[in-house]
Chains A and B, each alone.
Chain A
Amino acid sequence: MEMPFPLTKKKDSFTLKLSKELYKHDTVQKALSEDKDWVEETEASDEYYCFRLKTAEIEDVLNWMNSLIYLQKG
């Protein structure tokens, strides 16, 4: 399955990069705290947060992405 740049698939997980300029720190931390059993923050750069999502299902990842939009806007 084709993936856009910020999202890459590993064997049983996904790596997701989120721009710090777009996604607020508070939003990201809140989402992480709610899903810490399967979402792990890995080495970030100056411009990006980086996460490892321990799931093989792309839908789980996509739902998590949407939850960030919901948290940030709501």
Chain B
Amino acid sequence: MSKPKINVNENYAELRVNPEIYSKETIFAVGYVFLDKAYILLDIDKDDFVIYLYPQQKNTDLMQLSLEFCNELVNYAHYFTRSESNAEAIKAIMQRALFSAAPSLVQEAEEKEIEDLIKELEEEEEEEEREKDGNAVSFDKKEG
């Protein structure tokens, strides 16, 4: 039987979260937000991230604090997921904004892209040549 996700003791609360749902980055981001409310210790126990929360104020409701932490986990997990999916769009917008300020950069970027493509094609051709030579040797050996 798995351990309870939130366990409140006399002095601290223990939260267990699934690392397949919440990344380390998310947990640290939420921890950072909670630095003025709680003392935070992080650990890993088998399949769970474990978050220990000590209250900074004496009369803090630890269950309430834990639930707020959980809500922020959802908030930041959503934020990071959205950021990742929007990354390409943001990059394109930034490039457009940058290039409009300095048009010569467009030409430089295009030349660089062409150079990279040519290099990639050359590497592919070399790879094919090597494979052909490799097949020819094994064919000759069979014939011989």
Contacts and interface: CB of A to CB of B under 8 A. Distances in A.
A73 B43 contact: no
A6 B41 contact: yes
A16 to B, nearest CB: 8
A56 interface: no
A22 B54 contact: no
Contacts of A70: 32, 35
B138 interface: no
Contacts of B44: 19, 21-22, 47
A2 B39 CA distance: 15
Overall SS of chain A's interface = mixed
A44 interface: no
Contacts of A6: 41, 43, 52
A4 B40 contact: no
B40 A5 contact: no
A62 B54 contact: yes
B30 to A, nearest CB: 10
B28 A4 contact: no
Interface of A: 1-2, 4-7, 17-19, 21-23, 47, 62-63, 65-66, 69-70, 72-74
18 contacts: A2-B9, A2-B11, A4-B43, A4-B52, A7-B52, A19-B43, A19-B44, A21-B44, A22-B49, A47-B44, A63-B39, A69-B31, A69-B40, A69-B42, A70-B32, A73-B28, A73-B31, A74-B32
